[in-house]
Homo-oligomer: A and B are copies of this chain.
Amino acid sequence: MRFVSQIFQPVVSIPKGATIKNIEITCKSQKLLMECGLVRPTSAGLFTILPLARRAISKLENIIHTCLEEVGAQRLSLPCLTSARLWEKSGRMDDVGPELIKVEDRHGKKYLLAPTHEEAIADLFADISPLSYKQLPFLLYQIGNKYRDEHRPKHGLLRAREFSMMDAYSAHATHTCASRAYDTVTEAYRKIFSTLHLPVHRVQAPSGDMGGSLSHEWQLPAQVGEDSLAVCPSCSHAALSTDSSTCQQCGRETNEVNSIEVGHTFVLGARYSEPLQANYIAADGATASVHMACYGIGITRLLSASIECLSSEKALRWPLAIAPYSALVIGPKEGSKEWVGHGFDRVQEIARQLEQHGFRDDVIVDDRHALTIGKRLVMADRMGYPNIIVCGRGALESPPRYELHRAGGEAPLLLTVGELLHTLRQDRENRENREIDVEYETRAGE
């Protein structure tokens, strides 16, 4: 059980139009995360993730980890420092150009801080080449920092220079096998976004710098987004905006929405394995380039994009599965009748009950007794805690009753402990069963 008074959460107030370290505040996730003491910039495009946001990220990482391991992915860690030689071999050194952060070691050897690891993983396969077709396929992923020297970092974590990503890579003997893995990872992505209850659209996309034969972007609608989607109100089909405003699927008029790219998936073919000589030996003894696919989700970007999508200008809202704490308990003000009546023990007892009934390591107690319940409720609402339990006047009744305020703004419920635990359990079950209402396009392999 944690206490709000002990959390390292430097709350600040940012006047309208102010700049922080020469950076303009251009969107609500950036403003709310900073004002609520969750994230602080250290310089342009670089951020310290403070403890409550760090908890949200750990929860997000766990969801991604679980969904990927379920489809057989194996986690590894590639070094962030990638030899420049590999990027020269793939020809991307010049394509990506000024966004690459280059590093030279004390012996003059050239590296870069990898924005992505296609070259590094192909080099790993090459290093153990020739693989036998019997060893394939592999599906490998990592979670870690990536680097991109953005000309103008902006929107806080949405466009940073150091950011956290999940990046996955698969290696195959055939294109068919690569397509199958692509579909499997697509399913895992769907599960990730549906666990978060985020209306993420998968849209066909050009392959760009990355190369390869097929790619999809995973887009989350949000006003501040720099991409634009054409979403069909009739059949829910979504696509990157083009000149036409006609749905490619059903022919109806589409709506334009801004959106944020939170993930990307690519069938790469031999784009990297060929120049980097990642080969395998087929059943007939012939040597060929490994077929590859790659998959990314921007973790810090997804965190801020989801806040951008769900929050108001004034109050944070999180996907429930990644809120820093799922439940906050507020006790009476020191010296009040309730304080005298049941004191702080009752508050801690409620928190313990919650810990034991589905909220293990996921309850925080607002122990700032000097503040009124009302003031703490306002702050808790701004922080977006999904369940706020107030241990106030009702707790003096027999049996004692507690207020349950749920993010979403319905009127609070007055419940006994038993009813409270039951209601919260039902909420959880409903959430797990509810399917999110997003239609995805058909699969790559169909």
Contacts and interface: CB of A to CB of B under 8 A. Distances in A.
Interface in A65-79: 72, 74-79
Most chain B CB within a 10 A radius of its CB, from A106, A151, A164 = A106
A398 interface: no
B123 A42 contact: yes
How many copies of this chain does the complex contain? 2
Contacts of A128: 10, 12, 40
A282 interface: no
Nearest to A6: B72
B162 A80 contact: yes
Interface residues of A, number: 52
Given A42-B83, A101-B105, A48 B8 contact: no
Interface in A34-73: 40, 42-43, 46-51, 54-55, 57-58, 72
Contacts of A55: 75
Contacts of A102: 103
Contacts of A162: 79-81
Most chain B CB within a 10 A radius of its CB, from A8, A98, A144, A147 = A8
A206 B82 CA distance: 35
A441 B127 CA distance: 47
Contacts of A47: 79
B54 A105 contact: no
A51 B75 contact: yes
Contact of A79 (B6, B7, B46, B77): B46
Contacts of A80: 80, 145, 162
Interface in A105-154: 105-106, 109, 113, 120, 123-124, 127-128, 138, 140, 144-145, 147, 149, 151
Given A124-B40, A145-B144, A138 B74 contact: no
**7 nearest CB pairs, A to B:** A51-B74, A10-B128, A49-B77, A46-B79, A8-B138, A79-B162, A54-B75
Interface of A: 6-8, 10, 12, 40, 42-43, 46-51, 54-55, 57-58, 72, 74-83, 98, 101-103, 105-106, 109, 113, 120, 123-124, 127-128, 138, 140, 144-145, 147, 149, 151, 161-162, 164
